[in-house]
Amino acid sequence: MLKEVALGFGGLGAVGGVGILSGYFGRPVLEIVGLVSLKGRDVAYTIKAGGDSKRLVCKGQAGKFASLKLEKEAVDYSLKAKLICADKDEDPDLGKNPLTHAFSSESVTVTCKLDSFMGTAQTVGCSSTGKKLSLTEGKQSPNASIIVTLS
C-alpha cells in the first residue's frame, strides 16, 4: 500500500513538472509552429551582412505586427539604405517576401530576407549584387535604425 501511495505522488509530481515546463516553453514553441500570433508583440531582429551583426528591437503595437522596412538613406548616390521598424496589418513573412531596395545610380540592389525564425527572435540576412555590405547603428530614439552601407 505504501508503495502505491509513493508512486501516486511521484506520478503527480512528474505531471506537475511537465505543466510547469509547458508554461515556460509552450508559448515560444507555439509561436514557431505558427499557432500563436505575434500580433502586438515585440520582435528582436538580428541583422547580418558582410560579417557584421547588429540587433534591432521593434516594439509591438496593439493589433499590428512588428516588422522591418528598408528605405533609402538621404540621397541615392550615398549607397546607404536604412532598416527601420514598421507596423503592419498583415503578417510580414520576410522569408517569402524579402525587403529590397535598388540604387539607380549604381544599378545595385540590396535584399534582406529572413534567415531564421524563433518566434520573437528573428535573424535577417542582407546581401547585395556586386557590392560589399557593412552595418552601423542609426539613431536610437525615437526611431531606432540600422544603416546598410555598400562599398
Strand, coil or helix: 114:
strand
Residue extents of the structural domains in the chain: 1-36, 43-150
C-alpha grid cell for residue 55? 540587433
C-alpha grid cell for residue 32? 514557431
Whether the CB-CB separation of 49 and 133 falls below 8 Å is answered with yes
Nearest Cα neighbor of 134 from 69, 70, 67, 47 is 47
**pLDDT digit string, tens, across residues 41-50:** 999 999 999 8
**pLDDT digit string, tens, across residues 96-144:** 999 999 887 778 899 999 999 888 899 999 999 888 999 999 876 667 8
Is the C-alpha dihedral spanning 62, 67, 73, 75 positive or negative?
negative
Whether the CB-CB separation of 83 and 54 falls below 8 Å is answered with no
Q: pTM higher than 0.75, yes or no?
A: no
pLDDT band at 39 (very low <50, low <70, confident <90, very high): confident
